[in-house]
Amino acid sequence: MYQRIYLDHNATTPPDSDVVEAVNLHFQASYGNPSSIHHEGKNTKMLIEEARCHTAALLNCTAKRVFFTAGGSEANNLAIKGTAFSKWDKKGHIITTSIEHPAVLLTCRWLEKFGFDITCLGVNDKGMIHIDELKSSIRDTTCLITIMTANNETGAIQPIREIAAIARERGIVFHTDAVQAAGKIDLDVMESGVDMLSISAHKFYGPKGSGALYIKEGIEIEPLIHGGSHEGGMRAGTENLSGIIGLGKAAELAAKRLSDMNRVRELRDRLEQTLMSFVPGARLNGPILERLPNTLNIMLPGYRGESVVLAMDKLGVALSSGSACKSGSSNPSYALLAMGLTREEAHCSIRLSPGVSSTTEEVDDAIDLFKQLFTNKKEIIKFIPCR
């Protein structure tokens, strides 16, 4: 009997034991309000600032440029709406892409209702933007470019440094949703030149409900939540101490573990080569090289992705048929459709994402179970078009 095998780290990661220990240590003991000037308050404030320093170290910025949020979605909303609110009297033009997370796409669509113009760039068959299309889309009224660092479904990594340079040359603010990239690739904001960058703790072995937004010095945005001077006046509300401590510890660990992703890449490649051999016509969705080291999105002709997920779950393996944020929807992945896949091909795609805790033995066991599944056709439902 196999133990449960978790290959869905792009959806979320299990909290690291050191993160859990750090959160538990301070959850009851450090109860002071960080805005208070007495001992208990100062102690709590010190813990928050320590977490801010660890987060800043992961991004290679000064601690005062890190602002804590309740997750990646809020960080994205703060970056995009905050920029738009600062330009409200002039409205303006925003550039994004067709493969962004809903926290970016739906936020941009919301702004359309108030007079902002939105351009959604297309992508090629590997999920990469066309730099020439970005350049030609820029207008005199363009106030923001928001493009993800890496796609949550295919792992495709966009040319962030090049985009940042284009934005800087034209005097445009550039935000990147790096939620899926944090802990997997280097996110040096000084080197990349981004103006704002979003992360979420639960994607790199921290707690859910905790995130952060990096804001470069000199970038002016309006806060979304008013009511106090917390987070430098950028986000009112007594800080979520346990979440912030967990994020800080996870960031500290992530900075030390980037080299571990070479081993994770080998596990991903092992899964990829095996699945390609099991299913005739199987095809990789996304780039071969310019993708996250842990991400495999593969199209299995004739096999409905959701059915593969459910069948493998019965066998003890967790994986995904698309973005976890779209769970419960019968629609195929819009990111895969944007890459040129047909609806059937998108429905026949699965995503596997091992993590730093994954082992060679687990991957080999998963491979054995995939082999059992695909050699026993009665256990899996083939593609049936949605009605």
Catalytic positions, written as ranges: 325
Asked if 104 and 92 count as a contact pair (C-beta separation under 8 A), the reply is no
Q: Give me 310's structure tokens.
A: 């459910």
Nearest residue to 192 via CA among 211, 179, 176: 176
> In this structure, are strands 93-97 and 142-146 parallel, antiparallel, or unpaired?
parallel
Q: Give the residue ranges of DSSP H helices in the chain.
A: 17-27, 39-59, 72-86, 102-112, 131-137, 160-169, 189-192, 241-257, 261-278, 305-314, 334-338, 343-347, 360-375
| HSE (side-chain half, CA atoms, 13 Å) at 318 | 16
| Distance, CA of 24 to CA of 10 (rounded, Å) | 25
DSSP codes joined into one string, 80-120: HHHHHHHTTTT--EEEEETT--HHHHHHHHHHHTTT-EEEE
Q: Give me 124's structure tokens.
A: 């090629």
Asked if 333 and 349 count as a contact pair (C-beta separation under 8 A), the reply is yes
- CA 349 vs. chain centroid, Å, equals 19
